[in-house]
Homo-oligomer: A and B are copies of this chain.
Amino acid sequence: MTFVVVGGDAAGMSAASKARREAPDREIVVFEKGQWVSYGACGLPYYIKGEIQSLEDLVSVTPEQFREERDIDLRTGHEVVDIDPGDRTVTARNDDGEVTVEYDDLLVATGAESVVPSIEGTDREGVYTLGSMTDGKELREFVARSRESSPVEQPDSGPACHFLETCEGAVGIVGGGYIGVEMAEALAANDFEVHLFQRGDRVLKGFSEATSERVADHLREQDVALYLNAEVRAFDGGEAVEAVVTADERVEVEMALLGTGVRPRTDLAEAAGIELGPTGAIAADEYRETSAPDVYAAGDCAEVEHVVTGDPDYVPLALTANRHGRAIGQTVTGDPTEGGAVAGTAAVKAFDVEAARTGVLDHEEARAAGFDPVTETIEAKSRAGYYPEDGTVTVTLTADRGTGRVLGASLASGYGEGAVHRSHAVVAAVTEGVTVPELSNYDLAYAPPFNTTWDPILTAAKVLGGQL
């Protein structure tokens, strides 16, 4: 019985590790085309920022540990070039040639790749993406190089130059999603003048408008130049990038980062005749099994079921990859385990603001799933009104008017004031199909240093309840 895994990051290594724990004698082979496995790509912005000193710190388990301590046949530097579900084989290529192994169970965990938009000049030097450890390494090297050649006098005092035409050290970020926002913080902390270009009318478009506004306001407070409704047309320059060009602006930069999303890596699966779903990612059933028998898919290459709509969705995030990988590890060792649905939950820190979202917020999406959505946004104190530290939590709550069911929420607060951890309660609510009146009756913890007597979550539910 051989369990073969294609891709050695979160989903793949979680599955391999769990399978090993459950089946000490099982042959487990993992093919990874790169040299890094089991790494926390989510930490890359903090590595580039300089808060994490070594790329190795992002690795939770090293290749050696997988091989020696977990007895997993991990083959790095092996790119899988063919999956044959008929013959039940996988063929991989490395520097020495090709190798073909037979599998009893196979996990496709090929991940996602950064989308490079069709814009002139993306191939110029100094135009980066941030999808891999190698990308992270290159970006950190760029930061180090740039800061060395034009050292900043007061490294801790914020951006050294404020949008002066003559300023050196300007960078352009294209895309106002997680990567864009986190990298704005990382680069500003290194005294770059950050220009953030967002095609749409707000950053963090999967969050509520109120969250987007709060984050955008804060980005501006932090001297990030924010360009909304700004479609980038070209990266001008010679060999290296020299400017980001939109319809209205030409902004000189010494570097540009593409934070324009990811797409699932499905080439191998498609070539093997494995079905993709409506989102374009690999389709899988509740046990994460694909259309090919005993072939599973998990992580950023695969679709997931949304807990609110019941529909397939594409939400490439770390927790789901870990969880689905773990479930597959159990399933292939004799304990069939469902992967579980997702709520589309996400969190992000932007300088001193934190934000989270979960469930269905978009009214069009809600209507498509058969709901009659209604939304309210409140802003409430994050601590008792009389408590000395003064902050607020912005809560957007969406429900179905007919049933009162909570569909989703988006929250923002100062960092450390609980928008993200408070969202946990709403994840529970959307997962359990709780109604707004039920949520507003939750006996949530209260003490003056943590909230008002009615936590902002409860206040939002009370206010939204008035609209039902």
A95 to B434, CA, bound (A): 51
- Contact across chains for A58 and B425 when beta carbons are under 8 A apart: no
- Contact across chains for B388 and A51 when beta carbons are under 8 A apart: yes
The residue in chain B whose Cβ has the minimal distance to the Cβ of A56 is: B386
Which of A39-47, A167-175, A361-369 is near enough to bind chain B? A39-47
A356 within 8 A of B: yes
Q: Which of A52, A342, A431 has the most CB of B within 10 A?
A: A431
Known A-B contacts A43-B384, A385-B60, A387-B43; A427 and B450 likewise in contact (beta carbons under 8 Å): no
How far apart are A31's CB and chain B's nearest CB, in angstroms? 23
A310-324 at interface with B (beta carbon < 8 Å) = 317-320, 322-323
A356 to B444, CA, bound (A): 10
The quantity of this chain's copies bound in the complex is 2
Known A-B contacts A319-B444, A428-B425, A443-B307; A450 and B354 likewise in contact (beta carbons under 8 Å): yes
A74 within 8 A of B: no
A63 within 8 A of B: no
A418 within 8 A of B: yes
Residues of chain B contacted by A421 (CB below 8 angstroms)? 418, 421-422, 424, 445, 450
Residues of chain B contacted by A343 (CB below 8 angstroms)? 442-443
Residue from B42, B345, B424, B431 within 8 A of A422 (CB atoms): B424
- Contact across chains for B427 and A429 when beta carbons are under 8 A apart: no
A423 within 8 A of B: yes
A441 within 8 A of B: yes
A309 within 8 A of B: no
Residue from B40, B427, B450 within 8 A of A420 (CB atoms): B450
How far apart are A222's CB and chain B's nearest CB, in angstroms? 16
- Contact across chains for B43 and A441 when beta carbons are under 8 A apart: no
A431 to B454, CA, bound (A): 17
A111 within 8 A of B: no
Residues of chain B contacted by A278 (CB below 8 angstroms)? none
- Contact across chains for A431 and B443 when beta carbons are under 8 A apart: yes
- Contact across chains for A443 and B58 when beta carbons are under 8 A apart: no
A447 within 8 A of B: yes
A266 to B385, CA, bound (A): 31
Residues of chain B contacted by A307 (CB below 8 angstroms)? 443
A230 within 8 A of B: no
Q: Which of A349, A415, A442 has the most CB of B within 10 A?
A: A442
- Contact across chains for A52 and B386 when beta carbons are under 8 A apart: yes
Cβ proximity bits A401-416 to B, threshold 8 Å, 1 near / 0 not = 0000000000000011
A453 within 8 A of B: yes
Residues of chain B contacted by A318 (CB below 8 angstroms)? 446, 453
Cβ proximity bits A297-309 to B, threshold 8 Å, 1 near / 0 not = 0000000000100
- Contact across chains for A354 and B449 when beta carbons are under 8 A apart: yes
How far apart are A397's CB and chain B's nearest CB, in angstroms? 14
The residue in chain B whose Cβ has the minimal distance to the Cβ of A49 is: B388
Residues of chain B contacted by A446 (CB below 8 angstroms)? 42, 317-319, 345, 347
Residue from B320, B349, B443, B448 within 8 A of A344 (CB atoms): B443
- Contact across chains for A347 and B447 when beta carbons are under 8 A apart: yes
- Contact across chains for B422 and A432 when beta carbons are under 8 A apart: no
- Contact across chains for A347 and B443 when beta carbons are under 8 A apart: no
Q: Which of A319, A341, A457 has the most CB of B within 10 A?
A: A319
A277 within 8 A of B: no
A244 to B450, CA, bound (A): 33
A289 within 8 A of B: no
- Contact across chains for A358 and B443 when beta carbons are under 8 A apart: yes
A370-402 at interface with B (beta carbon < 8 Å) = 384-388
Residues of chain B contacted by A432 (CB below 8 angstroms)? 428, 432, 434
A158 within 8 A of B: no
- Contact across chains for A444 and B418 when beta carbons are under 8 A apart: no
**New A-B pairs, 8, CB < 8 Å, besides A10-B453, A431-B442:** A42-B447, A43-B384, A307-B443, A340-B441, A347-B450, A415-B449, A420-B447, A427-B443
18 A-B pairs in the complex with CB atoms less than 8 angstroms apart: A10-B453, A40-B448, A43-B384, A46-B387, A46-B388, A51-B388, A341-B443, A345-B443, A345-B446, A348-B447, A349-B450, A354-B450, A416-B417, A421-B450, A428-B429, A428-B434, A431-B438, A431-B442
